[in-house]
Amino acid sequence: MSERDTEFHRRFEGFRARGELRYPSCPECGTILRYAQRLCPAHPLAEPQFLLASGRAKVHSAVDYHTSYTQDLPAPYRLGLIELEEGPRLLGILLSGDGAPIQVGGRVRVGFDEAGRLVAWPAEAGDDRAEA
Amino acid sequence: MAAIAGLGFSAISRREIGTPRDLAIDAIIASVADCGLKLTDLDGLLVTCTPAAPPNTVPLRLSDDLGLGDLTLTGNIQVEGASVVAALQHASLCIRHGMAKVVACVFADAPLRPGQERGSAAYNRAMPLSGLGLWDAEHGLFGAAGAYALAASRYLHVHSLPDDAFGPYAVACRRWAADNPQAMLRTPIDLADYRDSPLVAAPFRVLDCAYPVNGAIAIVVTGCDRAAGLLRPPVYLHAFAQCHPGSGNMSGLEPELDSGARVAAQGLWRATGLGPAQVEMAQFYDPFSYVPLLALEEYGLCPPGEATRFVADGHTAPGGTLPVNTGGGHLSGFYLQGMTPVAEAVIQARGHGGARQSARNNVILVTGAGGRLDYHASMLVSPHAEI
């Protein structure tokens, strides 16, 4: 890891430890960055700032695991690439609301579970700011 | 322009048959013998291996192992699944510019060990997708199948396709494999077999996934004039292109539908003056069934969203209008990453495909893809110097 990478993770994880999901953006031009980015190419010397995510999101894609790889996550489990309403996407665990799996394109709310993992559950009716 | 003169295989097996270094040596010896050259004719050596392997799994020291000296070109080309096509491009350019005359390009892998014979065990590393270090592993995204399944689910969703839409591709590959003595899975299957195969990382079933093996393949590249005087018919390397889009995890981007292949295709057409209509055969990098379907669309070989129907209608199967992965590909042939499609292209271009040989071999598209569609390389090859 580069020093820039280490610092990016340190700051992101610090917010995560407080239960805050944040996303990176450029402090100079406000461009929202992908989580894989470590800088804004237009302002490469500006350290990214982390903004608080609203928690509203939608499911970009999903996978159902039928093989267990860790004891912490016995199969079957469902993961999704979750698109925050602010733009960036990152992986999360899809929880079933009423038992039906959350579908691709579905609106969700996101937060952290006790293990600090991002989980998503179906958005309640009327919470329509994150459009599928 | 340069040409492929030699093709060599090590043993290929699901059993433990040697280290990647040993297998690479076997393949290079075979590739040189294949075209009637000697090891001492080599003045270039490019090595490639899976990014999952420890450093120096296929080392530059292969040159010492083989007793080579005074190489004017060597290197380890690492573009993940695009490495082999990228290595051939590098060799071709260096030959064209007089930096080397005869270059061996080798790929070797030995992921299967006793107790670790299944693909899910051999390739169970977490695949970085979110760009947040260990984040994806902490959330359970293990194995390439999971990362690619995410992409496949997006493809199915956008095109409103059923979960079993990939089945005809797996069936078509098995039909090709039935006539390939080197293919690992040759027993015919139908759609019912596909639907009955176990789910691994849905929407992928076992039959959607590559079949890993231990083995190595080497290619000898040289100038066209020299290749024409050797034992095997030359396979001419007409054009190369690459595009590496990297992570596209941001609203408005659809990397699952628009990988680097679309840009690479334009590079191939610009370089040759050809277009999709002139491509007679494709050898795609197909670690999972969805990947070649996307490639069909991105190279303009069928309309967007129509690949599953195109395959289901039989176009890519034996006797079809566009033979695809005529050795069975990664799914039914064997998974030696970028070398699987390259080797089959050489066999078909030479007319050495035996029962599976297709007459539609005049312009062959070959691809390599790495990461989770983060890296892409492709080439057009032909048995003819002029196309």
Please indicate, yes or no, whether residues B172 and B199 belong to a single structural domain of this protein. yes
A69, A17: one domain? no
Residues of B in contact with A89 (CB under 8 A): 130, 249-251
Report the mean per-residue pLDDT for chain A. Answer: 92
Cα(B312)–Cα(B315) distance, rounded to whole angstroms?
8
Contact B237/B92 with Cβ under 8 angstroms?
A: yes
CA B340/CA A15 separation, integer angstroms:
45
Q: How are beta strands A118-122 and A107-112 bridged, if at all?
A: antiparallel
Q: Does the residue A129 lie in any domain?
A: no
**A11 and A64 share one domain:** no
Domain span at residue A93? 56-122
A131 occurs within a structural domain: no
Please check whether residues B258 and B149 belong to one and the same domain. yes
Which CATH number does the domain housing residue A103 bear? 2.40.50
| Residues of the domain holding B11 | 2-113+212-228
Give mean pLDDT, residues B88-110.
98
Cα separation, A58 vs B386, whole angstroms: 51
Tokens at A76, concatenated: 């079957």
For chain B, the domain total comes to 2
Q: Which whole number is the average pLDDT over B225-238? A: 98
Question: In this structure, are B181 and B217 located in the same domain?
Answer: no
B205 and B334 together in one domain: yes
Residue with tokens 């889009």: B245
Please tell me the predicted confidence (pLDDT) of residue B278: 98
> In chain A, which residues have their Cβ closer than 8 Å to the Cβ of B201?
63-67
Identify whether B133 is part of a domain.
no
Residue-wise pLDDT tens digits, B6-16: 999 999 999 99
- Nearest CA of chain B to the CA of A125: how many Å? 22
Residues 6+ away with beta carbon under 8 Å from B174:
B185, B186, B187, B188, B189, B328, B331, B332
Residues B19, B161 within the same domain? no
Q: Is the ipTM of this complex over 0.85?
A: yes
- B270 confidence band (pLDDT: 50, 70, 90): very high
Is the pLDDT reported for residue B119 higher than 80? no
Alpha-carbon distance A122 to nearest alpha carbon in chain B (angstroms): 18
CA–CA separation, B222 vs B94, rounded Å? 10
Instruction: State the pLDDT at residue B128.
Output: 86
Mean of the pLDDT values across residues A19-47? 97
- Asked if residue B244 and residue B219 are part of one domain, the reply reads no
- Residue B255 Ramachandran class (φ > 0 left, ψ -120 to 50 alpha, else beta): alpha
Q: Note whether B175 and B40 are same-domain residues.
A: no
pLDDT at B310 over 70: yes
At residue A72 the predicted structure's pLDDT band, cuts being 50, 70 and 90, is confident
**Nearest CB to B139: which of A62, A79, A88?**
A79
Has residue B219 got a pLDDT over 70? yes
Residue A130 scores a pLDDT above 80: no
pLDDT the model gives residue B211 = 97
Same domain? A72 vs A104: yes
Confidence of residue A127 (pLDDT cuts 50, 70, 90): low
Would you name the residues of B annotated as active-site residues?
A: 285, 335
Q: What is the tally of structural domains in chain A?
A: 2
Residues B384 and B307 in one domain: yes
- In chain B, what percentage of residues exceed pLDDT 90? 94
CB atoms within 10 A of CB B126: 18
Model confidence at A2, pLDDT cuts 50, 70, 90, reads confident
Q: Is residue A125 predicted with pLDDT exceeding 70? A: no
Mean pLDDT of B283-301: 98
CB contact under 8 A, A32 and B250: yes
Do B95 and B188 reside in the same domain of the chain? Answer: no
The residue among B125, B133, B130 whose CA lies nearest residue A5 is B133
Domain harbouring B84, CATH code: 3.40.47.10
Whole-model pTM: value is 0.96
Q: In 3-state terms, what secondary structure has residue B349?
A: helix
Whether A67 sits inside 8 A of B200 (CB atoms) is yes
Q: Mutation target for A interface from B125, B150, B256: give the one with most A CBs within 10 A.
A: B150
Per CB-CB distance under 8 Å, the chain A contacts of B138 are 115-117
Point out the residue among A63, A72, A105 whose CB comes nearest to the CB of B201. A63
Residue B290 and residue B159 share a domain: yes
Q: Distance from A81 to chain B by nearest Cα, in Å?
A: 7
Decide if pLDDT at A131 tops 60. Answer: no
Quick one: B218 and B82 in the same domain? yes
Q: How far is A104 from chain B (nearest CA, A)?
A: 7
Please write the tens of the pLDDT for every residue from B17-31: 999 999 999 999 999
> Are B171 and B271 part of one and the same domain?
yes
The tokens of A79 are what? 């993961």
Residues in chain B within 8 Å Cβ distance of A2: none
Task: Tell me: do A41 and A9 sit in the same domain.
Answer: yes
